[in-house]
Chain A
Amino acid sequence: MSDTKTPTHTPVEQTKFGKRAGGPVKWLDERVGAAGVARGLIRKVFPDHWSFMLGEIALYSFIVLLLSGTFLTFWFQPSMQEITYTGSYTPLYGLEMSQAYASTLDISFDIRGGLLMRQIHHWSAMLFIAAMYVHMLRVFFTGAFRKPRELNWVIGVLLMVLGLIEGFAGYSLPDDLLSGTGLRFVDGLIRSIPIVGSYLEYFVFGGEFPGNEIIPRLYMVHILLVPALLLGLIAAHMLLLVYHKHTQWPGPGRTEKNVVGYPVLPVYAAKAGGFFFVVFGFTALMGAVLQINPIWAYGPYNPSEVTAGSQPDWYMGFVEGAVRLMPNWEFTTLGWTFSLNVFIPAVLLLGAFFTAIGAYPFIERWVTKDDREHHLLQRPRNAPVRTALGVAAMTFYGVLWIGGGNDIIATQFRLDIYAITWFCRVMVFVGPVIAFIITKRICLGLQRADKEQVLHGYESGVIERSPDGGYSERHTPLSEVGQYELTTHERVEVAAPPPAADDRGVRVPGARKARRHAFVSKFYYGDVVDKPSRDDVDEARHHAGHDGHELEADEEFRGVGETGVPRSH
């Protein structure tokens, strides 16, 4: 900019290209009004923070999935017709197998780049769902789901559920031994649905397992139905994001009323567009050097064969774990058998888990009775109970995950598989409680530390000796910006329980409900460490200024910074 050699900017409409493109652009605008739409978007502001890019990973993985998936459909044959394999993978040459499996072998060994596309497709599917999870955790722990974004949260949960279904359908398509074993599991799962299980099973599979129909049907679900729903919901998710404008971290100059960040054109477009290429490139590199789902090693599906270490992809691992940990509850009444050992962990749990996640914003809204819009994020420590609930849910999920991989853990760490199962059976209940208590304590401790820093500054690393020989560490006050950043969170209000009866002993209507609410409110916010008041801050500042004397240390040494790094000139 300061360089004189930098060419000065010519307005785009006056450049050679602009003059040539002007006609078509005008033509388009006269038909669709493009300028009016673009006007609102071209300089739209997005705040800059790494944690805001986690959802982008999911979005870009989805695009990579569409691209690589389209490529795979050119050769994949979704048919369960049994044929004899004559392709180039010799250990399976001459074997009877379904066309679906044979065509997947062809993609892997006879189509150049086919194996790469298969691996990219599978890796990006894993990343798609993983990125959705980390994005969801970010939104949860920062309170970004609060009004007005509850609906977008629900859409996000739907995207997650659809992503799981999409992934599972894709996992089943190649008809190798692992995917067939997975389908066998689904068959047992559908059968376990009370009363109508058998009928549903025969409808889904078109008769007895495995039948002829399931792969073509799953193929339709995998490449048409669910992707269309995903696309529609992603569009809604993005539209709401644009309409709400992105949340931002509180800080100097950042308020509930504004968004501070970089405009779409040019910085955000370059960063987000660049990130798409990074995600795609990263996935391609994973496809180049990390083998995933080597279907040729598993062999074609055969209902009398199975392999040790039969696992679903990681995102179904928690369901697998729940099924493994479940006690063998099954009973028959009035001639109907209820297989709770399968139905509870595989069907009910999955439903309950995502319903609970989807309902969370509404539960918290009921506790806070807070009807204001929130565009500033919360630090996890400033919502200790929410954070603790989130970590408890993660622990629950993690224990189920361990349960789902108990056979691999047993062989890798030379443990008893039954012992792992029993450990998980206990920990699935105890673990979340412990995690809740520990997390809440950590949050409260951090809140106290924050308050301490605001009032008394941070430890400077300078040790002083008093005339009577005592040692103390000098505290350096935070800058005003630093103090501000630690006090931006809102004070919380704990609902007071109303009296059960008024002065004359008449029962107050709704008192029981109000008391229940007060109880939950206290559970949520009763222990929260309140931030200091203005008087506290003023007094502390006055106090520090009063007896504080200038540091008479070596010129070069200025104590340590907030991060503990020594400061010098």
Chain B
Amino acid sequence: MRFLSRRRRHPLAGFVVLLLGLVVAGGLYSTLAPRSAGADTADARQVETGRQLFLVGCAGCHGKNAAGILAAKGGNYGPSLVGVGAAAVDFQVGTGRMPLANSSQQAPRKPPAYTAEETAALSAYVASLAPGPAIPDTEYTDPSDEADVTNGGEFFRTNCTACHNSVGAGGALPGGRYAPPLDDVSGKYIYEAMITGPQQMPVFADSVITPEDKRDIIAYIESVSEEPRYGGLAGGGLGPVSEGLFSWIIGIGGLVVAAIWIGAHGARVKKQT
């Protein structure tokens, strides 16, 4: 300690203490604060990345500020995305519906054009514009053992089958629009579709169908799509129409072939023995 006490009146002592204080403060700062500071910058960076992607890929229809572009005849060229939330972007971009390949009755599901990170960036950007439904927690989108499949079935049949069919095979809507099939749709997207109401689909908000009920619905859809087709080939889940086709083509077709075989006169021998 003598070393320090001897030099405490050294002209440079003040600088040293100052330096020390700066180092300690900096060190403390760098160990305590940087995490949040880094996240902020990362988030900001993600939003910025999203904005850049948006300007390139989406702004053409949705406008530079995502406020939508009004068409000359009224209606939207591309709707405003302010307040649609991250869930809507994640659903639309993650299932490949956006960006639109061409204007048609309805955006079809197709391979996504953006990577997962890019989609996350776009979601972050749109979410930063105004509050909206967030990407759901995996607790509700990955059916666990707690999920009540029977309850989910009841909700599914009451709210979903009218458009999407009992086995999720999809159904027709007016004007060439359709409710898409639900097979191979991940739980996350099913959840996001319910809370954001993409295209013609109505919204089923968490206040009406609770997250637990949504989890049950997802569990039911998964259990039904994974269960065996007990009776054999199911004809695409189209019900009596495909069954009718089977009975005519396979059933009557096959039996008429059998009748022709029974009625056919086989080979004959010309020469009498």
Inter-chain contacts of B162 with A (CB < 8 A): 305-308
* Chain A residue at smallest Cβ distance from B246: A290
**Given A307-B162, A308-B161, A308-B165, also A411-B247 (CB < 8 A):** no
Which of A94, A278, A298, A408 interacts with B150 by CB under 8 Å?
A94
In the bound complex, do residue A91 and residue B224 qualify as a contact, i.e. CB atoms below 8 Å apart? yes
Whether A418 contacts B175 in the complex (CB less than 8 A), given A48-B263, A91-B220, A92-B150, comes out as yes
Known contacts A289-B232, A415-B176; A50/B256 CB under 8 A: yes
A52: which B residues are within 8 A, CB to CB? 263
Q: A24-32, A127-135, A186-194, A208-216: which one contacts chain B? A: A127-135
Contact with A along B240-253 (1 / 0, CB 8 A): 11011111101110
A107 CB → nearest B CB, Å: 12
Q: Which of A178, A290, A308, A315 has the most CB of B within 10 A?
A: A308
A457 in contact (CB, < 8 A): no
Instruction: Give Cα A119–Cα B255 distance, bound, in whole angstroms.
Output: 18
Report B156-178 CB contacts with A as 1/0, cut-off 8 Å.
Answer: 01100111111101111111101
Secondary structure class of chain B's binding surface, majority of residues = helix
Report chain B residues within 8 Å CB of A290. Answer: 231-233, 235, 246, 250
| B254 at the A interface (CB under 8 A) | yes
CA distance A108 to B239 in the complex (A): 17
B176 touches A302 (CB 8 A): no
A309 to B173, CA, bound (A): 11
Q: In the complex, which residues of chain A have a beta carbon less than 8 angstroms from the beta carbon of B230?
A: 108-109, 115, 291, 294, 296
From residue A488, how far is it (CB to closest CB) to chain B in Å? 19
If A50-B259, A274-B262, A313-B240 touch, does A416 touch B166 (CB 8 Å cutoff)?
A: no
Q: Is the CB of A134 within 8 A of B153?
A: no
Whether A130 touches B247, Cβ cut-off 8 Å, given contacts A292-B231, A308-B163, A311-B240, is yes
Cβ of A282 under 8 Å from chain B:
yes
Q: Which residue of A lies closest to B254 (CB)?
A: A282
Q: How far is the CA of A4 from the CA of B235 in the complex (A)?
A: 56
Q: Does A434 contact B (CB under 8 A)?
A: no
B108 CB to closest chain A CB, in angstroms? Answer: 9
State the majority secondary structure of interface residues on A.
helix
Chain B interface size, under 10 / 10 to 19 / 20 to 34 / 35 or more: 35 or more
Quick check: is A312 within 8 A (CB to CB) of the other chain? Answer: yes
- A178 engages B239 (CB within 8 Å): yes
A115 touches B172 (CB 8 A): no
The answer on a CB contact under 8 Å between A309 and B157 is no
- Report the minimal beta-carbon distance from B115 to chain A, rounded to whole angstroms: 29
Q: Which of B185-210 contact A (CB under 8 A)?
A: none
State whether B232 touches A275 (Cβ < 8 A). Answer: no
A90–B223 Cα distance when bound, in Å, is 10
A561 to chain B, nearest CB (A): 15
> Measured between alpha carbons, how far is A406 from B174 in the docked complex, in Å?
11
Q: Is A57 an interface residue, CB under 8 A from the partner?
A: yes
Is B72 an interface position by the 8 A CB rule? no
Residues of B within 8 A of A91 (CB): 149-150, 153, 220, 223-224, 227
Q: Is the CB of A50 within 8 A of B263?
A: yes
List chain B residues, Cβ under 8 A from A131.
252, 255
Which residues of chain A come closer than 8 Å to B5, judged between CB atoms?
A: none
In the complex the two chains form, what is the Cα distance from A305 to B159 in whole Å?
8
B interface with A by C-beta (< 8 Å)? 149-150, 153-154, 157-158, 161-167, 169-176, 178-179, 220, 223-224, 227, 229-235, 237-241, 243-248, 250-252, 254-256, 258-260, 262-265, 273
Jot down 17 A-B pairs with beta carbons below 8 A, ordered by A.
A48-B265, A53-B262, A91-B153, A91-B223, A134-B252, A287-B231, A289-B232, A290-B232, A299-B153, A302-B157, A305-B158, A305-B162, A310-B239, A317-B240, A408-B241, A411-B170, A417-B174
